[in-house]
Every structure is written in C-alpha cells, then in structure tokens.
Chain A
Amino acid sequence: MFTAAAESFLRQAREIQEEELRRFTARVSALLQGPEAGPEAVDGLQRLHLSVAATKYPRKLDGKFVEQLQTVLCSPKSPEQIQVLCAAILREMSPCNDLVLSCDEIQDTKLLSLVSSVLLAQGSRGEVAAVGQRVVQGLERRLPEGQSARFLLPVLANVISLSPGSLTEEQTNVVSKKLADWLRYASIQQGTAQPSGGFFSSPRTKQPAPITEVDGAVATDFFTVLSVAQHYTQDQWLNVQAFSMLRNWLLCYGGKELDTLNPGASAGGDSSGTPLVPAPATPGRLLPPRERLRDKAFEYCQRLVEQSTRRPLKKEDGDLQKACLIEAVTIMDIICKQDSSYVCRAVSCLKILHSRICGDATYARALLPIAQFFLSHSKQAAVDSDAIYKHLFSDIPALLFHNPSLAFEFVQFCKDNSQLFTDSSSIFRQSFPNLFKFLAWNSPALISEFVDLLPFLLDPGTAIEIFHLLLDLPCLTAALDIQLRCDTEASLELLPEYGVPELIRAAALPASEKAGAEPAGKPATCLEAFHHPLYRSMFQYLLRSRAAPEDAPDSLVPLRQLLGSLAGSPRVVQCAETVPVLLELFFRVVAEFADGSLINQLVVLLLQRSDQLYEIPAFKEDVYRVLGSNLAMLCGLRPALVVELSTEILEFSGAVSNIQSKEAIFTHLAWAVGEYLSVSHDKRCTVEQITRFFETLEAVLFEITQLRPQASTPSCAPRAISVLMATLTKLAARSQDLIPRVSMFLSKMRTFVQSPAVTSVYCEEDLEEILIRATELMNLLKMPSVAQFVFTPPVASTRFQKEVNDSLPLALRMVTQLLEPAAGSMPV
C-alpha cells in the first residue's frame, strides 16, 4: 500500500549490496565528522535507518561507524534530530555486539532517556539493571537547572516492566517516596507560558491562575490528571507520569515482600495476603515510603472517582474520565489486596460509584473493575454484592453486546474469574445465554477467547442448552441484528422525551411492553416480526439473558425461516464459521463427563437438530461433518445406545433423503449400527432387532443402487454405499440366516456399476472401489465363522473415535487373498 516512490525506496533499501552499503556508510560517516552536521547528514542517516530497518536479516555495519554513531549520539554538540536518528539506527540494530554505550556519565535527562532506549533494546538484563540504577540516581539527586525528571520516569517504568528485580529495596523506597509526593503535592497553580520573546510582549509575568476541573470550576483539592490548566508546571507533568505508572509500580513493589535485585524475580508476583504493617494510623506519624505511597495513591484514586462526576467541557476529556475511573478502581483493588485496612473505605466509595454509573451505558466498562473489586473483597467486608454481579451479567451483555471493546473485556473478565462458573446455581453460570451474545456479534475477535471459556460453562446441567445455543448461534446473530435495529428505532422515538438512563431502561424492556397495538396477520418484515405475537416468544427465548431450559418453545423453526433473509449478512456468515470449532470442543468436553442418559439425549437431539439448522449451505455442511464424526464418538462411548435408541436410529437411517442431504451423519450412523448392534456390546440385542435394522438398511441400499439408476436422480456418496454394504455384511455375520440375502445383493453390484446410468454419474475410480469392496465382502461371507471373528471388534476398546471402517480393509484384503490367490483381476 505504498506509493510508487515509497515502494522504490523500500526495494532499494532491501536490495542494497554490502559493498554499496559500505560506501554509503562511509559517506554518512564523513558528513557526521564535519564541523556541523546539516541536512545532508540527516538525509543520510534517515536512508541508513531504512536500509537497516527494511530487512529482516541483520545488516552488518562497520564497527568503527557504529562507534561513531554512539559518539555522535552522546555528544552534547549534536543537534537533537541527529541524536534521535543515531539512536533509532542503534535500536534497529539491536542486539548489537559493538555497543560501548553507557548512561553513567550523561547528565542531560533528555539524552539519558534517548541513550536508555538503545540500551534497553539490547535485551540484556545487565543493561536494564544499569539503566535502572542510573535513573534512580537521577531522580534521587537534585537535578541541574533546566533538567527535568519528566524524561526519566518513563525510562524507569520501562525498566520495571522489563525486569522488576533491577532495583534494590532502598531504591524502591526512594522512588516510592518521590511518587507519593508527585501524586499528592503537585502545584495547584497553573504554569506560565514560555516567553515568546516577541517585540511587544510584556516582560511582566502574569499572576498564575489556579487550576480548574474538567467542567471549568476552580479546583477545590489537589492536582490530578483530570486537572486543567492553560500551561503546566514540571511537577504537574510528573504527576501525570507518576499516575500513569502507578499501577505497575504497586504491582511490582507495593506488596509486603519482593526479592529485589534477584535475577529470578518475576513481575507483579502475588502480593495479596494480610499485611505485616498495620493500617495507616495517626496522621502525625510519618509512614514508611511504601505505606505512604499506598496512602497517597488511595487518596488520589478517591479524588479521581469524585472528579468523574463532573461534566467535561471537552468531549475527549469525558473518555479520559472513564479511563481514569477504570484505573482508579483497579488501583484501589490492588491497594486493598496489599493492605486490607483500606477495604472498608473502598467499599463505601465504590458502592456509591456503582449506583451512580450503573444506569449510564457509557460507563459500562467501569463496571467490570468494580465487580472485580467486590469479587476480591466483599467476603472480607461482609457486603452483599450480588446485585452488582446480577446487573453486570444480566443487563450489560443484553444491551451492549455490540460494543467490541466491552465485549472483549467482559469475556476476559469471565476468563480471569473462571472459578465463578463452577457453581452451577450462581448468577454467573446461569447467564451463559447472555455471554453467547458477545460471541454471536463479535465472533472473529472473540472466538479464541470462547475456546478458553466454553469448558467452564459446560456441565451435565447446561450441556443440552448450550448444544442448542451453538447450533443456533448464527441465528442469534441475526436476531441481535433485528433487536438492535428495533432498539434504534425505539430510541429515536423516545429521544426527545427521555434522558439517557431512561433510554437504557426502555431498551431493556421486553418487547411486549413497548409494542402498543398488536399488528394483525403475518408480519411483512423481520422488524415487524420482532413485536409480532407469532414470533415474539421465539425472539424472547433466543434473546434470553439467563439459562431457561424449561422455557424453550416447541420449535424455533418459524423463527429460523423468518431470519433466513439475513443468512447472507457478513456478520452472520462470520459467526456461522465459528460454530464447527466450538461444536468440536463441545463434544470433546462433554465426552469427559457425560453419563448414559446425557449421551442418549444428545444423540436424539443431534438427529433431530440436523433437520433444523439455519439455512446457510456451507454452515450446514460443516455442522453435519462435525455432528457425524461426534455421533460415532458418542456411540463408541456408549454402544448400548444403538439398541436403546433403535426407533430414532431406524427412522433416520431408513430415509434415503438423509443420505443425500446429510451424508456425513448418515454414514457415521450406518457405520455405528454395523459396529455396535451386537450381542457382544449389549445383551439386550436380539435377532429380531438385527433383522429389522438389516431390512431397513437393505431397503435403503436397494433404493439407491437398484432403483435409482433408472431414474435420473443425483448420485449418493460412494462412501455411503460402501458403508451400507459393510454394515449389512456385519449384521449378516451376526445373524447368519441373512447371509444368502446379502451375498445375493452384493453380487448384483457388478451390474450396478456397469449400468450406463450409473457410469454417467459416478467416477470410474469410485465405482471400481465399490466393486472391490463388494467382492471382498462376498468372499468374506463365504467363511461365516471368519466373518464373525473379523466383524466383532474387542468390546474393551479404549478408542473413542474410529474412522469409518478403519479396521476393515486389511482383514478384507487378507481374506480375499486367501480365497483368490490368483485373482489377477483384483488389485490388492
């Protein structure tokens, strides 16, 4: 996507030969040595940077030149742009063996930051520690005139995130003390403008004005990131940086113990637990640095919560207010984990906050850290926070499923707290239909998150409902689309009269309360149908926010048909593509806990639902594939189900149409019948049952091989024909009266494959395979006792899932060879 000029530059940079690069480097080197490095040197360095950055292969630059880059970088005489470019090239070359750079002697804080960027990019723990030492030193001492710690603090933030063990206990105390001061005691007067030096500008500096709040009111308390000024002082900049790095700092060093300067130390280790130091006590006593920082940080967060009530003059500051609120609540949670004496104050502050923002959808993302806080501390504080969780899990997904960031954070929250879903009666577990709305609407971004989450939602109580939900997921996407459009229409009507909170409540109302007069007759559009009595209960069920297995309507078929017009919508199609993945996972997880009754239920449902899928051809095809192979898996887990569910299985496998429309399921089912309908798997299996199955499948095979060739009907999958022949043979081997019938049938296959109607629809290789298989099976049946042995697999098989006929071919071929040692016509 580059312009032609850029493409050309990129190509040149990638293709430059070593010799040419060497000559170019020499020219840049000469330019840098000149008395004043000008635009030409800048241009040279920029091009050099590109040639190093544009390729994934390491570029070798001359060692002398690399040395020169470092010298120029550190020289106070070099122009800033040149320094920045030298640093960029050195960073791009990292890890670099020729580095002699050190930040020990650098006094200028801006330059120190630049040099640090090169050193930290090297990926060496030693360098990180050295930079950390130097920066803390810089913060500790009084900086020379004109130098600001503002450039050092981000370096420190980077150091602790790369290697928290780089600082000693003493050093963390120094920084904690500084951070507390910057947070709490930044100037509450505005800074002054840099004198412009204009000819007419007055030399007299104006009296500094007090800072204001985001709504324009004069600030009544200390400075925070939400304080507004025309110009800012250095300590106000430091206040911003201190708050920006505060969370990570507390996670690294706020807890009671940390192995500082220990190479094995890891970031943000578990720092929960009861504190050794008692609660911040009398105001007069000076607290140790870590406790003091905690205290000031807590006050800061409380002030931010208070400041978030103000209506900002600038819209962008509204977004920042919300981000600050999220940060403040998260920090309060961390502080309370590190010192439980803060819990009471935090609880009362956050309860008030929650009741203030819970009706305002624009604050929805802040509800997550609040809920997280109460999950961590409500037990200790002995407060009932069920209302908070209930609101979060029942109202928010239903209203805001279409907000991608919230959806992501919500699902992350569920993943982080997956233990909540183990209690099946809990608010969390019951709300899974709501969680699926996030997936239905945002499937590409959330599919991998749901792969992690789904196992926690599944148990014997939810499996059936989740099975339906997964199969109806694209349908849910379509229904959400309709809901969203209806809500938009409704809110447009409501807008003039109501404020925002009313709007949210109105959107959450059941459709019945919104729709006034009942429209008569069939609805013309999906939007009309949303409020129509014919469809309302189906919409409500599909869009339910809590598990409701008993409320399921008899059938959602009319709704699926209604929503058929949305089946081509890209969002629906994207969602449909995620279903096979989740369905596979579903069966894998369910197989681990399912008992006989659940397995039977699932098999019956599977056969039923295969007729009731949302009409997207590719989706149906994929789902059949997954259902087919997992049907075989379930039968393998519980072979007795073939006998127990014989009515349902006979009904399904007796329908020729199922071979054409649902070949994957049909073939696996026919295979399972041949494999498991046997006395060795279930003592209840009778000869009559075997005969009934035999006759049903025989009729099907007859219809597709003996009748069909005359009519011009589409072909059936050769795999289905092959499996049907094998299943009939297996059943005959177990009830030997049937052997003559199947042998006769198999012998007719030669005529089948040769009929002109057949050869025109099937390909030659397939027909040949069918014939080979038929011949092999016939041969096998000539030795009934061998056949019985071959077709009775060991019952104690541990394999859950078998490929159709995976054990057969070898045995068949062996028998064929025994019987027809000179069979030249049969490829073996």
Chain B
Amino acid sequence: MGSTRLEILGPAGPLGPCSPAEVSLSLDEVRVLNTSVPLFSSRQVASQCQLLQASLGRPSSPQLPQLPDEPVSLQDAPGGVFQMPPGDPFPERVTVVWLSVLALAFALVCEPQENLSLAEITLRRLAPRLLLSLRLVGPGADVLLRPDAADGLLDRLLPHGQMLFLNERFLQAMDRELGLKVSR
C-alpha cells in the first residue's frame, strides 16, 4: 500500500512529483521509471479521459478555462479506473485511478489489491487542494515552481504514498495545519 503515487497530468505531460521507485531495479531502471513512466501513463489517462468525455457526448475542452477564483466543482468531474499490464511500463501490474478536473487530470497509480474506493476519495480530496495551492488554473507558473507546496500537501494526504482513512474532521484538522481554506 505504501507505493501509491500521484501524477498531475496536463496534455504536455506529467507535472507532479513522482515518488518511490521499486527496489531491485538497476540505477538506470530507476531513472527510466522516474522519468518515462509518468509520461507513458499520462498518455493512457489522456486517452481514457477523451474516450469517456466522448462517450458522454461532451467535447474534450482543449483550452484551460481561466477561472482562478471560482471554486471548482468535482460533482460531475469525469473519472475512471483502468489497469496496466506488467511491464507496460511498470514492472508489476498497476491500477490507475484518475479524475479529470477542467483540462487537467489527476491520477493515482496503485498496486492492484488496493482499496479503490479509498483511492477515489483520496483523489477527490487532493485535486481541489492542489488546484488551490498550486493555482493550477491560474495564469502563473506555480505548478512548475512550487514543488514544496505540492510535497506539503502530499505529505499530509498521501504520506510516503500511503492512502489514509481520514474522516472529514481529520481532513479539516489537516487543512488547518496547512493553512488551507478549502470550501466545503
């Protein structure tokens, strides 16, 4: 359970921090995993997302709406889950849970046996907080230049890749610690 990893994906590729690599890999393999894998899975998420949008009869919006101050609703945010076979590109089979918000997608790469309900909850909590603290829909470049903010969030909500069973009160306490004001 400890190796769930988050990826934030824009059409240009992965933006997010990627955490631990598998043991028993060579140095080069670790490097390849750390760099190529997010790219690869981001393409899969992008295509799954487009297919889902198409099946719902919605055009996938190529433009990022400029609504930096509007609270983002996750009510109807499309999301899904799919599996990637071993070696393609992760050495072991993985399950990818994804959520698309505006023109971005957030994806959790999980081990096959993990609690997917919890992964979906975790993703739904991470997304608005990342949007808020990285100003992902704003005009700036915080998403690229504030790895500390992203790490701070991940360290609370997904510490070392561990998904947590947090009820709303725990979450509020966590937001207080981070100084976040998430609309509820």
Q: Which of A94, A405, A445 contacts B30 (CB 8 A)?
A: A94
Residue numbers in A under 8 Å from B64 (CB-CB): 1, 3
A121 proximal to B (CB < 8 A): yes
Contact size range, A: 35 or more
Set B12, B79, B81: member contacting A10, Cβ < 8 A:
B12
CB pair A409 B116 closer than 8 Å: yes
Do A445 and B81 touch across chains, with their CB atoms under 8 A apart? yes
Contact between chains at A226 and B167 (CB < 8 Å): yes
Q: Is B55 an interface residue (CB 8 A)?
A: yes
Cβ–Cβ < 8 Å partners of B111 in chain A:
161
Nearest-Cβ distance from residue B157 to partner chain A, whole angstroms: 11
Are A46 and B80 in touch, CB under 8 angstroms? no
Q: Is B152's CB within 8 Å of the partner chain A? A: yes
* B117 near A241: Cβ-Cβ < 8 Å: no
Cα A87 to Cα B64 in complex, Å, equals 31
Among listed A151-159, A537-545, A601-609, A693-701, interface-contacting one: A151-159
Residues in B with CB closer than 8 Å to A241 are 162, 164
| Chain B residue, CB-CB nearest to A122 | B30
Contact mask for chain B residues 94-114; partner A; CB cutoff 8 A; 1 contact, 0 none: 000000000110000001110
**Chain B min CB distance to A679 (Å):** 48
Residues of A within 8 A of B52 (CB): 404, 444-445
Q: Which of chain B's residues have a CB closer than 8 A to the CB of A125?
A: 23-24
Q: How many angstroms between the C-alpha atoms of A771 and B106 in the bound complex?
A: 60
Q: Is B21 an interface residue (CB 8 A)?
A: yes
Q: Interface 1/0s, chain A 42-62, versus B by CB < 8 A? A: 100011011001101010000
Flag if A570 contacts B57 (CB, 8 Å).
yes
Kindly supply a per-residue 1/0 record for chain A positions 144-171, scoring 1 wherever the CB is within 8 Å of any chain B CB and 0 otherwise. Answer: 0000000101110111111100000000
- Chain A residues with CB under 8 A of B54: 570, 574
Contact B145 A46 (CB under 8 A): yes
Binds B, one of A320-328, A644-652, A753-761: A320-328
Contact in complex: B55, A571 (CB < 8 Å): yes
Please name the residue on chain B nearest to A267 by beta carbon.
Answer: B111
Contact among A3, A157, A228, A412 with B140 in the assembled complex (CB-CB below 8 Å): A3
- State whether A323 touches B121 (Cβ < 8 A): yes
> When the two chains form their complex, are residues B115 and A327 in contact, meaning their CB atoms are under 8 A apart?
yes
Residue from A87, A243, A248, A444 in contact with B51 in the complex, judged by beta carbons closer than 8 Å: A444
Contact of A84 among B112, B139, B148 (CB under 8 A): B148
- B162 pairs with A157, CB closer than 8 A: yes
A8 to B161, CA, bound (A): 31
Determine whether the beta carbon of A113 is less than 8 Å from that of B159: yes
Q: Give the distance in Å from the alpha carbon of A320 to the alpha carbon of B163 in the complex.
A: 12
Q: Give complex CA distance A50, B143 in Å.
A: 10
**Chain B residue at minimal CB-CB distance from A407:** B81
Of the listed residues A47, A157, A449, the one surrounded by the most CB atoms of chain B closer than 10 A to its CB is A157
Other-chain residue from B25, B85, B145 in contact with A50 (beta carbon distance below 8 A): B145
Contact B115–A323 (Cβ < 8 Å): yes
A245, A365, A445: which contacts B82 (Cβ < 8 A)?
A445
In the bound assembly, the distance between CA atoms of A444 and B174 in angstroms comes to: 37
> Within 8 Å of chain B (Cβ to Cβ): is A633?
no
**Does B118 sit at the interface, judged by CB under 8 A?**
yes
Q: Does B115 lie within 8 Å of A160, measured CB to CB? A: no
- Contact of A314 with B168 at beta-carbon distance under 8 Å, contacts A56-B35, A161-B111 already known: yes
Docked-complex contact B141 and A2, CB < 8 angstroms:
yes
Known: A50-B144, A241-B162, A574-B51. A94 touches B34 (CB 8 A): yes
Q: How far is the CA of A158 from the CA of B21 in the complex (A)?
A: 11
Contacts of B62 in A (CB 8 A): 1
- Set of chain B residues within 8 Å of A319, measured between Cβ atoms: 117, 121
B1 touches A245 (CB 8 A): yes
Interface residues of B in 68-90 (CB under 8 A from A): 79-83, 85
Whether B25 pairs with A123 at a CB distance below 8 angstroms is yes
B130 to chain A, nearest CB (A): 15
Known A157-B1, A320-B165; contact A1-B10, beta-carbon cutoff 8 A: yes
Residue interface mask B148-174, A partner, CB < 8 A = 1:
100110010001111111111111010
Chain A residues with Cβ below 8 Å from B24 are 123, 125, 163
- Docked Cα-Cα span, A228 to B173, in Å, equals 11
Interface centre among B17, B82, B160 (most CB of A within 10 A): B160
Contacts of A6 in B (CB 8 A): 140-141, 143-144
Answer whether residue A556 sits at the interface, using C-beta atoms and an 8 A cutoff. Answer: no
Q: Which residues from chain B contact A42 at a C-beta distance below 8 Å?
A: 148
CB contacts (< 8 Å) of A120 on chain B: these are 20, 160
Task: Tell me the minimal C-beta distance from A3 to chain B in angstroms.
Answer: 5
Query: With A94-B21, A94-B34, A405-B81 in contact, is A158–B166 under 8 Å at CB?
Result: no
Query: What 0/1 pattern do residues 102 to 126 of A give for CB contact below 8 A with B?
Result: 0000000000010011001111110
**CB-CB contacts below 8 Å: A46-92 with B:** 46-47, 49-50, 53-54, 56, 58, 81, 84-85, 87-88, 91-92
Residue from A88, A228, A330, A569 in contact with B169 in the complex, judged by beta carbons closer than 8 Å: A228
**A162: contacting residue among B2, B85, B115, CB under 8 A:** B2
A54 — which chain B residues lie within 8 A by C-beta?
144
Let me know if B133 is at the binding interface, CB within 8 A. Answer: no
Interface assignment of A225: CB less than 8 Å from any CB of chain B? yes
| Chain A residues whose C-beta falls within 8 Å of the C-beta of B35 in the assembled complex | 56
The residue of chain B having its C-beta at the shortest distance from the C-beta of A237 within the complex is B170
Q: How far is the CB of B117 from chain A (nearest CB, A)?
A: 4
8 Å CB interface, A553-603 against B: 569-571, 574
Distance (Å) between the CB of A617 and the closest chain B CB?
18
CB pair B160–A81 under 8 Å, yes or no, is no
Smallest beta-carbon distance B100→chain A, Å: 12
* A137 at interface by CB-CB < 8 Å: no
Q: Which residues of A contact B23 (CB under 8 A)?
A: 123-125, 128, 162-163
A405 / chain B contacts, CB cutoff of 8 Å? 80-81, 116-117, 120
A321 to B20, CA, bound (A): 29
Q: Does A230 contact B (CB under 8 A)?
A: yes
Given contacts A123-B23, A154-B162, contact A245 B116 (CB under 8 A): no
CB neighbours (8 Å) of B181 from chain A are none
Q: Given that A58-B31, A121-B19 are contacting pairs, would A10 and B144 also be in contact in the complex, using a CB cutoff of 8 Å? A: yes
**A157 and B160 contact, CB distance less than 8 A:** yes
Are A85 and B21 within 8 A (Cβ)? no
Nearest-Cβ distance from residue A307 to partner chain B, whole angstroms: 11
- Bits for B51-66, please: 1 = Cβ < 8 Å to A, else 0: 1101111000010100
Q: Which of B27, B39, B47, B146 contacts A95 (CB 8 A)?
A: B27
CB pair B48 A444 closer than 8 Å: yes
Give the Cβ gap from A518 to chain B, nearest Cβ, in Å.
32
Q: How far is the CB of B105 from chain A (nearest CB, A)?
A: 10
Whether the pair A155, B165 counts as a contact (CB closer than 8 A) is: no
A-B contact pairs, 20 of them (CB 8 A): A13-B144, A113-B159, A121-B19, A151-B159, A157-B1, A161-B1, A161-B3, A162-B23, A163-B24, A214-B167, A227-B167, A245-B2, A320-B168, A323-B121, A326-B117, A365-B117, A405-B117, A444-B51, A445-B52, A569-B57
A binding-site residues for B, Cβ under 8 Å: 1-3, 5-6, 8-10, 13, 42, 46-47, 49-50, 53-54, 56, 58, 81, 84-85, 87-88, 91-92, 94-95, 113, 116-117, 120-125, 128, 151, 153-155, 157-163, 214, 225-232, 237, 240-241, 243-245, 247-248, 268, 314, 316-317, 319-320, 322-324, 326-327, 330, 365, 404-405, 408-409, 412, 444-445, 448-449, 569-571, 574
Known: A161-B111, A244-B164, A320-B166. 15 other contacts (CB 8 A): A8-B141, A46-B146, A113-B155, A117-B20, A122-B30, A154-B161, A162-B2, A162-B20, A230-B169, A243-B165, A244-B165, A314-B168, A405-B81, A448-B82, A449-B83
Q: Which 7 A-B pairs have the closest CB atoms?
A: A161-B2, A154-B159, A158-B2, A123-B30, A323-B117, A6-B141, A158-B160
